[in-house]
Amino acid sequence: PDGTVHARLRDDGVLDVRLDDGGPNVLRPDVCVQLGDVLAAHPDSPVLLRGRDGMFSAGLDLRWMVANRPAEIGELLRACGRMLMRVRTHPRPVVVAATGHAIAAGTMLAMCGDHVVAAEGGAWGLNETTNGMEIPRFGIDLAAARLAPRDLDGLLVPGERIDASRAVAVGMADVLAAPSDVVTQAEARLAQLAALPSIAYAGNKHRLRASSTARVLAELDADVDELVAGMIRAAG
């Protein structure tokens, strides 16, 4: 397919967003901006966010990062952080059909959903440590909202990669499904959430998430600058 983000507004009012670049569905600055813009353009639409068979997202495009300078990598991190906060605070329900692997920033993106269905056999985890990277503050905050403190430290510090069943057990995702049933289960839960009173749903979502999101965005530039400075030091 041409591009990564494929979105259509269905007759039932659902914004169906599919990530599919024919490969690992990696996130670059343009992909992050496009995904954020698509949701911003449809504030009144419930969202089904899914990948393709076997792959949700492998996270940030590491090849792109290797080929670019620290300043450009910083822009990627900023774009990613802004996009994740956009998904997390979308006024209407967002249900993630994690149709396969959801790794690093792919796990972060999945955790932004109001409900997350994980495909059996998928790989998950914020494995930045094993990639020689530090986790942006926005990723830590997303994980902290879903994981118990023991799992937060035990998984994120060593950068452990886990399977989908454990991702559900620790709270990164909500339910486990056979790969063939992931989208069906996500659709069913989205219909349930979309049927709830929309003003109250949006209001309570805002009350629960607005202050932490505002803090992440206010600290985003300083946090990314610190990460970039660390990359420069590590490079010698």
Looking at the predicted structure, is the pLDDT value of residue 25 above 70?
yes
Determine if residue 13 is left, alpha or beta; phi over 0 gives left, psi from -120 to 50 gives alpha, anything else beta: left
Q: Is the pLDDT of residue 198 over 90?
A: yes
The mean of the pLDDT values for the chain is 96
**Average pLDDT of span 180-186:** 98
Q: pLDDT tens, 114-173?
A: 999 999 999 999 999 999 999 999 999 999 999 999 999 999 999 999 999 999 999 999
pLDDT for 2: 60
Share of the chain above pLDDT 70, in %: 99
**What CA–CA distance (Å, rounded) separates 122 from 161?**
10
Is the pLDDT confidence value at 17 over 90?
yes
How many other C-beta atoms lie within 10 A of the C-beta of residue 134? 15
Residues whose CB falls within 8 Å of the CB of residue 195, separated by 6 or more in sequence, listed in order: none
- Any idea which residue has 């219909």 for tokens? 191
pLDDT of residue 22: 94
Label residue 235 by pLDDT band (50, 70, 90).
confident
Name the residue among 200, 12, 185, 204 with its Cα closest to residue 115.
185
- Residue 185's nearest CA partner among 90, 50, 25 is 50
Digit-coded pLDDT (tens) for 86-115: 999 999 999 999 999 999 999 999 999 999
pLDDT score at 201: 98
Instruction: Give residue 20's pLDDT.
Output: 97
Nearest-angstrom CA–CA distance, 195 and 190: 8
Cα distances (angstroms) measured from residue 169 to each of 16, 118, 154, 158: 27, 11, 14, 18
At residue 58, does pLDDT exceed 70?
Answer: yes
- Residue 216 CB neighbours (<10 A): 22
Cβ contacts of residue 122 below 8 Å, gap of 6+?
Answer: 56, 98, 100, 101, 102, 163, 164, 167
Helix and strand numbers (H, E) in the chain are 9, 10
